Amino acid sequence: MLKNFGLKKIVMSFALLAAAACANPPVAEQATALAAAPAVKAAPKPLEITEASFGCIRDLKAVRGYYVGNLLGDIDATVAAANSADGGKYPPGSVVQLVPGEAMVKHYPGFDAATNDWEFFELIPSPAGTKINVRGSTNVVNQFGGNCLSCHAQAEAKWDMVCEQTHGCAPIPVTPVMAKAIQNTDPRCAKMDLPADQMAALQQLMAFRAAAAKQAAPKAN
Ligand code: HEC
């Protein structure tokens, strides 16, 4: 059943929808932020993030609709930031994911002031593991042209660029049930049966994707 909904397609759907929702990234703002980034003192040691840093999304800790982890073992501080009612800065090592194909990871201070030291990743998960497709800070654009920072920078400052649904970012057309369905079909995780509403959400995503692909470049497939 589930293999009818190839994860790559679903991940691409998400990226495509995100791109469609954000056709005009505020490039000028980003340029200003870049130019204004101070020469910060070097981090204690750079945080090393590799493909092995990522795995089954459901092995992370669920916080509301998304998942968090910490590559430095400081999961309590990451969960505390995610659960703080007044917002808060995520500690270095924090991993945040809504879907298996995208991640934000917090570096030590000094990585890039323009992104609050977040690095953005577009990932390609498969049963064999994770491939990093694109990574970086201000200029990570997913394959359909959506710049991660241009959307995530819209979150009110106190939320440290985490959007959820109420932090000030323009909404994306991925509903919480769709997100859950995508999480539950992560090909790196043990297979599970999807409840009917999540199956329906995946079908909706595929339909959106087909419609969006028609409008995008003809060579999209
Ligand atoms: C069109 C705007 C847009 C683009 C482009 C975009 N995102 Fe998001 N992202 C959002 C919104 C809005 C949410 C919250 C969705 C929700 O909770 O329903 C979100 C959620 C997330 C989350 C979960 C934490 C949070 O902020 O709620 C992560 C991690 C994430 N995105 C990473 C990325 C990465 C990495 C990229 C680029 C490869 C990217 N996003 C591109 C708007 C965008």
pLDDT tens-place string over residues 64-77: 999 999 999 999 99
Report which ligand 1 atom has the smallest distance to the Cα of 98: 23
The reply to whether 38 falls in a domain is no
Q: Of the spans 32-46, 96-110, 140-154, which averages the highest pLDDT? A: 96-110
Number of folded domains that form the chain? 1
The reply to whether 72 falls in a domain is yes
The reply to whether 156 falls in a domain is yes
CA of 148 to the centre of ligand 1 (A): 7
pLDDT above 90: residue 110: yes
Question: In 3-state terms, what secondary structure has residue 152?
Answer: helix
Stretch 55-84: mean pLDDT, rounded?
Answer: 98
Instruction: Return the residue whose CA atom lies nearest to atom 12 of ligand 1.
Output: 171
pLDDT above 70: residue 163: yes
Cβ atoms 141, 147 nearer than 8 A? yes
State the chain's mean pLDDT as an integer: 85
The reply to whether 133 falls in a domain is yes
The reply to whether 76 falls in a domain is yes
Residue at 175: amino acid letter: T
Rounded CA-CA distance 92/72 in Å is 7
Pull the structure tokens for residue 163: 């959007």
Stretch 108-115: mean pLDDT, rounded?
Answer: 96
Residue 125 belongs to what domain range?
51-170
The reply to whether 216 falls in a domain is no
CA of 126 to the centre of ligand 1 (A): 21
Question: In 3-state terms, what secondary structure has residue 33?
Answer: helix
Of 210, 212, 213, 199, the residue nearest 4 (C-alpha)? 199
The reply to whether 131 falls in a domain is yes
Residue 146 has what pLDDT? 87
Is the distance from the beta carbon of residue 173 to the nearest atom of ligand 1 less than 6 Å?
no
Instruction: Return the residue whose CA atom lies nearest to atom 16 of ligand 1.
Output: 164
Of 57, 71, 33, the residue nearest 183 (C-alpha)? 57
What's the whole-model pTM score? 0.83
Stretch 80-95: mean pLDDT, rounded?
Answer: 97
The reply to whether 184 falls in a domain is no
Residue at 57: amino acid letter: I
Bridge partners, residue 96, by sequence: 68, 104
